[in-house]
Amino acid sequence: MTVDISARIDTLIEKYGKYGKSSEFERIRTAAELAAKAHEGQFRQSGEPYVCHPISVAEIVADMEMDADSIIAALLHDTVEDTDMTDELIRERFGDTVADLVDGLTKLASIPYSSKVEQEMENLRKMFIAMARDIRVILIKLADRLHNIRTLDAKPPAKQREIALETMDVYSPIAHRLGVTRLKCEIEDLALRYLDPVGYEEIITALERQSTVREDLLHDIIDRLRNRFAEHGMGDIHIEGRVKDIYSIYRKMFMQNKTIAEVYDLYAVRIIVDTKDDCYNILGIIHDMYKPIPGRFKDYISTPKPNLYQSLHTTVIGRAGIPFEVQIRTWDMHHIAEYGIAAHWKYKQGLTGVDEKYESKLEWIRKMLETQQDTDAEDFLSTFKIDMFADEVFVFTPKGDVINLPVGSTPIDFAYAIHSEIGNRMIGAKVNSRMVQIDHILQNGDIVEIVTSKASRGPSRDWLKIVKTNEAGSKIKQWFKKEKREENITQGREAMVRELKRLMISPSVLENEELVQAVIKKLSFNSLDELLAGVGYGGVTSVRAANRVREEYTRLKASQKISEPVIKEERPLKKSDSGVIVEGMNSCLVKFARCCTPVPGDDIVGFVTRGYGVSVHCADCVNVTTMDRERMVGVRWADVIDGRYTVGLDIHARNRVALIADLSTVLANQKISIHSLRTREIEDDAVVSITVSVSDRAELDSVCSGLHRVAGVTSIERSGSTGGVRL
Ligand code: MN
């Protein structure tokens, strides 16, 4: 296929020349030639040279009467992505503005689209706008899409559908938002052709069938209007008859389940005048001529649409009872109706000191313009940075879902936005496949992956200072409140134990189910934990709770339902006293497992228990293997330990007279007191189980070597150890 590229470049420049500066012609030509050279050897699916596409896009940009930089960027928009062209070269040849525009277009090309639910689509559209930064990038991107969908026939059917869907989901709403109506209608009609070819054809056929009737009808209306306007001394008024866009007819037919005959404003007449007053005068004349349909009059002049659109709309009944819509607007309004934000730029250019009321109504656009009030109108679009979503940032999950966060958000905000469990178990984050600090500030388009671990001990209080979203903040606080409950239970238990001891009652009475049930019922709690938590945070005093326990204890003892509890030696309760440091927890109750009775110097492991803090076992305890690994926490012995630790020993010996006496003597010599002693006899052998207090493993070892020297002792084992640790 031979295409005269230079003729096409001439056409483009001619188009630009109608409104642009002749001083820019050479730059545009250079850019077009550079694009042709860069894309040399590349062809479109239709067979034509690739450069025809960027030239066509540039022409659409010129139709919108955009500036030379935009046209040059349109010409180069696919070069950085698809050819050897570099950002540096564009910057050097055409300046920063063009290079930034091309860069923006290249970035937008990398947004992954796929079918999304509506909320996600909205985020995707917002991200699209936020990423573009410069409004011109969006307008060029829309032009790019228009040309792509105009030439969609050359693509395979699956691709056609994909592009058509994306056009409807992303591009059309953006075009609508920016008021680029002409382009919006065209891309919608074209997309519909691929999304519902049958429905599309149905409308086309119906419209064709009626075309003669319609032409006659519209001609008749226009003639009558022209005559009547002349009678009012209003000659030479622009009147056009038209059929509504295919897609808007389609929507009405298929979504409101109407036949084509039932679509009211199938026929439309547009009247364009010079002044706003004329608009209202014309409206009066029309309502005098035809009967208006109630509820169909819209004054978008006094109340413009958010996308700048202004017009008077009315629907009236014509001859033969056929309704038609009339749109009345000025030429300025017409340009804005067709080209939206692109025209607004021109509009401001021509009319400085614009109607302030009009301006104030356009809330969102006004906000954007505020910083540009004093800028030269010529530079208006070029300095027109988008801050519509300046306080939002849009990032992706690894699956491609879009998450919308406030600017300045971190991976922690992201994690909690996904799920509180993700946040609570977060141990790190990757952004675009790289590990980052958790206070890393997320940027538009980042792909964020949260690294979690079941072993995570939960959020840190420091995170509250880092997070940007209220959601993350409240979820972290919630976590601490819940954690606090455990702390409250622990503290409550300590207070109760102290109080019960003061009352000379063993805390072990709290293990008696009947007693506990009676006490919590009296104090209106649902469980022992709840009661202890209540004591912990001060909802009920330990004195009051302990007195209820005493009452019940006395009652049960009287009816012999509870045995006299042995007052056991209580372990030191506080962490500072326990000699064990639990990683990541400051004041946490530490309890030594009774099964293996660890002493300082032993390898130890810790498990989080419900309401009892952390239980510490010897690493080789038989019970460790059966414990839930998820509850495991890191523990170590403190550097300075001054307590004494109870340890159980099983001494195997040949049974003989005075064995116990000899063992006791050894212990007494070492100033070790015996807490309990039990002997089992197995034929000639004896197992003497004792519990003693030692300060650490070294003392225990010296105790054991002393015991070993007692005649008849064959072995000594720590109680609870696996396979018997020989001592
Ligand atoms: Mn393109």
- Dihedral of CA atoms 465, 466, 471, 474 in degrees, nearest 10, equals -30
Q: Does pLDDT of 669 surpass 90?
A: no
| 103 Cα: distance to centroid of ligand 1 (angstroms) | 13
- Backbone region of residue 336 per phi and psi (left: phi > 0; alpha: psi in -120 to 50; beta: other values): alpha
- Backbone region of residue 257 per phi and psi (left: phi > 0; alpha: psi in -120 to 50; beta: other values): left
Query: What is the pLDDT, as a whole number, of residue 126?
Result: 65
- Dihedral of CA atoms 79, 83, 86, 87 in degrees, nearest 10, equals 30
Minimal CA–CA distance to 384: which of 395, 373, 399? 373
With a pLDDT cut of 70, the percent of the chain lying above it is: 85
Q: How many residues belong to the chain?
A: 727
Query: What is the pLDDT, as a whole number, of residue 24?
Result: 93
**264: pLDDT confidence band, cut at 50, 70 and 90?**
low
The two counts, helices (H) then strands (E), for the chain are 29, 21
Query: What is the pLDDT, as a whole number, of residue 194?
Result: 94
Greater confidence, 222 or 110?
222
Question: Directed axis angle between helix 542-558 and helix 528-537, to 10°?
Answer: 150
Beta-bridged to residue 267, according to DSSP, are: 243
| 163 Cα: distance to centroid of ligand 1 (angstroms) | 13
- Least confident stretch, 107-121, 193-207, 353-367, 509-523: 353-367
Q: Does pLDDT of 639 surpass 80?
A: no
| 477 Cα: distance to centroid of ligand 1 (angstroms) | 49
Instruction: Confirm if 694 and 645 have CB atoms less than 8 A apart.
Output: yes
How many CB atoms neighbour CB 326 within 10 A?
27
Query: What is the pLDDT, as a whole number, of residue 371?
Result: 35
How far, in whole angstroms, is CA 68 from its chain's centroid? 38
Query: What is the pLDDT, as a whole number, of residue 144?
Result: 95
How far, in whole angstroms, is CA 259 from its chain's centroid? 43
| 548 Cα: distance to centroid of ligand 1 (angstroms) | 81
**187: pLDDT confidence band, cut at 50, 70 and 90?**
very high
Instruction: Confirm if 517 and 523 have CB atoms less than 8 A apart.
Output: no
Query: What is the pLDDT, as a whole number, of residue 683?
Result: 75
Average pLDDT, the chain: 81
Q: Give the environment of ion ligand 1: residues with CB less than 5 A.
A: 78, 144
Query: What is the pLDDT, as a whole number, of residue 564?
Result: 59
As given in the structure block, the two tokens for residue 542 are 């330990």
Q: Does pLDDT of 364 surpass 70?
A: no
**612: pLDDT confidence band, cut at 50, 70 and 90?**
low
Report the C-alpha gap between 552 and 535 in whole angstroms: 18
**375: pLDDT confidence band, cut at 50, 70 and 90?**
very low
Minimal CA–CA distance to 79: which of 123, 130, 39? 39
As given in the structure block, the two tokens for residue 674 are 């015996």
How many CB atoms neighbour CB 295 within 10 A?
7
- Residue 14 Cα distances to 56, 59, 61, angstroms: 13, 10, 13
Q: Amino acid letter at 280?
A: Y
- Least confident stretch, 139-143, 288-292, 570-574: 570-574
Instruction: Confirm if 326 and 316 have CB atoms less than 8 A apart.
Output: yes
**332: pLDDT confidence band, cut at 50, 70 and 90?**
confident
State residue 19 phi and psi, 5-degree precision: -135, -20
User: What are 507-533's pLDDT values in tens digits?
Assistant: 888 888 889 999 999 998 888 988 998
| 20 Cα: distance to centroid of ligand 1 (angstroms) | 23
- Least confident stretch, 178-187, 262-271, 462-471: 262-271
3-state secondary structure (DSSP) of residue 270: strand
Instruction: Confirm if 149 and 163 have CB atoms less than 8 A apart.
Output: yes
Greater confidence, 190 or 640?
190
Token look-up 């010079």 returns: 274
Q: Amino acid letter at 543?
A: V
3-state secondary structure (DSSP) of residue 450: strand
Q: Which of 82, 120, 186, 299 is catalytic?
A: 82
**386: pLDDT confidence band, cut at 50, 70 and 90?**
very low
Instruction: Confirm if 336 and 343 have CB atoms less than 8 A apart.
Output: yes
Average pLDDT over residues 670-678: 82
Report the C-alpha gap between 60 and 56 in whole angstroms: 6
| 77 Cα: distance to centroid of ligand 1 (angstroms) | 6
The question of whether 82 is a catalytic residue gets the answer yes
User: What are 83-125's pLDDT values in tens digits?
Assistant: 988 999 999 999 998 998 998 888 877 666 655 555 566 666 6
Q: Does pLDDT of 189 surpass 90?
A: yes
| 42 Cα: distance to centroid of ligand 1 (angstroms) | 13
Q: Choose from 71-85, 310-324, 597-611 the range with maximum mean pLDDT.
A: 71-85
As given in the structure block, the two tokens for residue 371 are 């910083």
How many CB atoms neighbour CB 428 within 10 A?
15
| 110 Cα: distance to centroid of ligand 1 (angstroms) | 12
| 141 Cα: distance to centroid of ligand 1 (angstroms) | 8
> For residues 344-358, b (16+ Cβ closer than 10 Å) or e, as one string?
bbbbbeeeeeeeeee
Domains, the chain:
5-192 (1.10.3210.10), 202-341 (3.30.460.10), 372-481 (3.10.20.30), 484-558 (no CATH), 580-637 (no CATH), 645-718 (3.30.70.260)
Contacts of 662 (CB under 8 A, 6+ apart): 710, 711
Q: Which of 10, 81, 223, 514 is catalytic?
A: 81
| 149 Cα: distance to centroid of ligand 1 (angstroms) | 11
- Least confident stretch, 227-231, 271-275, 629-633, 669-673: 629-633
| 59 Cα: distance to centroid of ligand 1 (angstroms) | 13
| 244 Cα: distance to centroid of ligand 1 (angstroms) | 29
| 387 Cα: distance to centroid of ligand 1 (angstroms) | 25
| 53 Cα: distance to centroid of ligand 1 (angstroms) | 7
| 88 Cα: distance to centroid of ligand 1 (angstroms) | 20
Report the C-alpha gap between 81 and 58 in whole angstroms: 17
Reported pTM:
0.54
Beta-bridged to residue 436, according to DSSP, are: 429
Query: What is the pLDDT, as a whole number, of residue 111?
Result: 66
DSSP 640-687: S----EEEEEEEEEE--TTHHHHHHHHHHHTT--EEEEEEEEETTEEE
Minimal CA–CA distance to 621: which of 596, 589, 654? 596
Minimal CA–CA distance to 139: which of 362, 341, 357? 341
Query: What is the pLDDT, as a whole number, of residue 57?
Result: 97
Query: What is the pLDDT, as a whole number, of residue 724?
Result: 37
Q: Does pLDDT of 369 surpass 70?
A: no
- Least confident stretch, 212-226, 571-585, 655-669: 571-585
> For residues 37-53, b (16+ Cβ closer than 10 Å) or e, as one string?
ebbeeeebeeebbbbbb
Contacts of 479 (CB under 8 A, 6+ apart): 420, 424, 458, 459
| 83 Cα: distance to centroid of ligand 1 (angstroms) | 13
**225: pLDDT confidence band, cut at 50, 70 and 90?**
very high
**211: pLDDT confidence band, cut at 50, 70 and 90?**
confident
Minimal CA–CA distance to 61: which of 350, 345, 366, 386? 345
Greater confidence, 309 or 270?
270
CB burial of residue 61 (10 Å; 0-12, 13-18, 19+): buried
CB burial of residue 122 (10 Å; 0-12, 13-18, 19+): middle
Q: Does pLDDT of 61 surpass 90?
A: yes
